[in-house]
Structure 1
């Protein structure tokens, strides 16, 4: 691995929504326990029953498990989440995962984050993990010692020409110290540090970032607070693709003096809410945004023609709804989160990397195919 980072910390709001609160250990407690060599997961609640939908509910179902003992155990990564998919310059797919453990379940030995799992097939129809960065043992992609329960959680991975980029949120969970950006010129095998942003920039609303690679020479960047319990706006920036590693080159979009314009102080581009993971992509001549919605709990998507489209009025489509273990069918998932768009998706045929965690052995990344979004 090339490069280094000035700080070791990282952050993560992982785990199933609805499991934190009185009587149930939160993610910070779990990770600190793992750092100490043990993890008590007894008594965890299960995500709640389906809540009210958004504008329209899609149809669809599970395609396959992408991770788990049978799928990724041979890479010492039986327990992992997120799996943000990015098509590599060589045409394969890299799934960048978050907190990863070996052994008998979450909190087992060999805690790493992030790790890279590979699918030699780059099409959604052939998305199966058959390799990892590190060969037979998936390695941590960046230096992260997890001292004091810190971790390095990816919020996005994307490709511009021959170069891949990875954005990480770092610090103790829910207390993001900073976020940083890394690049790889060898299909994700090694990563070089580029830059970082303070965790309190824009009141924390620049912690979790996701990048849409446009055909106009820019990347468009949406960002939120990285804490599911905190209400946050959704901010929009643009940056030239040849200046991704220069924090000063990120130009905000905001409303001031009666008009929206680039260079105004950033203002939220949609209603403030409690956000989980977010994923912003150029797709089909327009743009797609997928996210974990916290109230009501579900995964949602919007499709719009321009990065600056009015998201206040753009319909929200429900892609995944929550259920309880044993009652999963169609697009109802127990303890869902994530919802990262698989490259090659279309509005009519949307593939998502959906995470799940409700006990020590039910912690995985799954592929879901969603249809009916244009109905």
Structure 2
């Protein structure tokens, strides 16, 4: 697909201030050299930075979660990301990115984000049987796509009766700002809370993911949102009653010979080119999954506390790339995403993986991963 259109001014509600016809999503080549030099079906890939540890990891596809036959009845046959979140009512919501009707990517009725719902939230029984908006999955927030802008979700999570959603706004990979929304009706409607400038912390506060801890805090990992840019991984914390207050976010950083809260934020692991990231509290510890860009794979780390040393924590490869027609086990053509499905655990991890290699192969899928090593205790 063609290079991004230049960004036109964006108002706080995310609408473009420019004029002109909407364009299909102007993404750079989604995963350059997606399978180059990596046709392995085993989950072991090495390379710098942060070579993935040798392991017994295996994986397999459970099901497609989207596609014409599955989500076409919600006017969402073509969609991606599908960030899974358990709603207060017990259903599972999949919050998706750029979504189209018609014959493929770039078709009519471009919306982002949208939300598809499974009334059964058990990881082994997920089936999309509803959508926010009913027979037409509606855009969850105002976004006209004028000048090629869009609203890409980076995370959705639940605290008590409230759901929160973080969005990256602007032309893809030219993030003007990010904003934060809340829902008190299981994701049916969303209210704007706040926003952050795209250049904050050198752009490394654009893509955010939140772990809901049992100590009253949300722990937040963040990177730049541009797969072509090397970024650190920053850590902040915020009280669970104040995620909509930008001033309440406290950074974790290294200064004066020590790590401490309140220091200027510094990267908590080796800088690299990041795709999607997902940070979750799990089984008394924490899990981080992400799309690694070089070498291309989807990885996981498991650790005991939010401030554990990620420089030395093993990186375990869950999904490896291949070419269309050679997909088997945990080898996926043009994979991205890798969001943890609530209710799964280290010993039986279910993740949402996206795929896009042509206009008709753009979907959300569920994978099951086994053989992962949990955090050291």
Regarding TM over 0.5, the answer is yes
* C-alpha distance 260-325 of structure 1, shift in aligned 2 (>3 A): same
Displacement of 1:8 in angstroms is: 2.2
**Contact 1:231/1:273 (8 A) holds in 2:** yes
Q: How does 1:342-353 map to 2 (within 5 A)?
A: 342-353=341-352
Q: Quote the offset at 1:36 in angstroms.
A: 4.0
Equivalent residue for 1:257?
A: 256
Find out whether 1:8 has 2:6 as its counterpart.
Answer: no
Rounded to whole Å, the distance in 2 between the matches of 1:305 and 1:96 is 28
In the TM superposition, residue 6 of structure 1 has moved relative to its aligned partner by 1.8
The separation in 2 between residues aligned to 1:305 and 1:8, in whole angstroms, is 37
TM-score by length of 1: 0.89
Indicate if the aligned counterparts of 1:177 and 1:199 stay in contact, CA closer than 8 A: yes
Alpha-carbon shift at residue 138 of structure 1 (Å): 0.2
| In 2: Cα distance, 1:160 partner to 1:41 partner | 35
Q: What do residues 204-262 of structure 1 show as CA deviations (whole Å, max 9, x unaligned)?
A: 00000000000000000000000000000000000000001000000000000110000
The alpha-carbon deviation at position 41 of structure 1 amounts to: 12
Pairing 1:103–2:90 present: no
Unaligned runs of 5+ in 2: 1-10, 40-44, 47-51
The answer to whether the 8 Å contact 1:220/1:239 transfers is: yes
1:82 aligns with 2:69: no
Q: How far is 1:119 from its partner?
A: 0.3
CA distance in 1, matches of 2:269, 2:243: 24
Q: Secondary structure at the match of 1:242?
A: coil
- Quote the offset at 1:46 in angstroms: 6.6
Counterparts in 2 of 1:317-332, with a 5 A limit? 317-332=316-331
What is aligned with 1:362? 361
Q: Please provide the CA RMSD for this pair.
A: 2.1
Q: Deviations over 1:97-117 (max 9, x none)?
A: 000000000000000000000
**Dislocated runs of 4+, deviation >3 Å:** 36-42
Aligned to 1:55: 53
- Report deviation, 1:38: 10
Confirm or deny: 8 A CA contact 1:209 1:224 kept in the other structure: yes
Distance (whole Å) between structure 2 residues aligned to residue 290 and residue 38 of structure 1 = 25
Is the 1:98–1:154 Cα contact (8 Å) retained in structure 2? yes
Give, in angstroms, the shift of residue 37 of structure 1.
6.9
Task: Please state whether the residue corresponding to 1:306 is helix, strand or coil.
Answer: coil
- Is the 2:179–2:194 contact (alpha carbons within 8 Å) kept by the matching residues of 1? yes
Contact 1:9 1:177 in 2 (8 A): no
CA contact (8 A) 2:170 2:176 kept: yes
Q: What's the offset of the Cα at 1:35?
A: 2.7
* In 1, Cα distance between equivalents of 2:209 and 2:12: 22
1:372 match: 371
Inter-partner Cα distance in structure 2 for 1:41 and 1:148: 16
SS at match of 2:241: helix
Cα distance, 1:78–1:263 mapped onto 2, change above 3 Å: same
Cα distance between partner residues in 1 of 2:25 and 2:172:
18
Matched with 2:68 is 69
* Partner of residue 19, structure 1: none
In the superposition, the TM-score normalised over structure 2's length comes to 0.89
CA distance in 1 between counterparts of 2:259 and 2:93 reads: 37
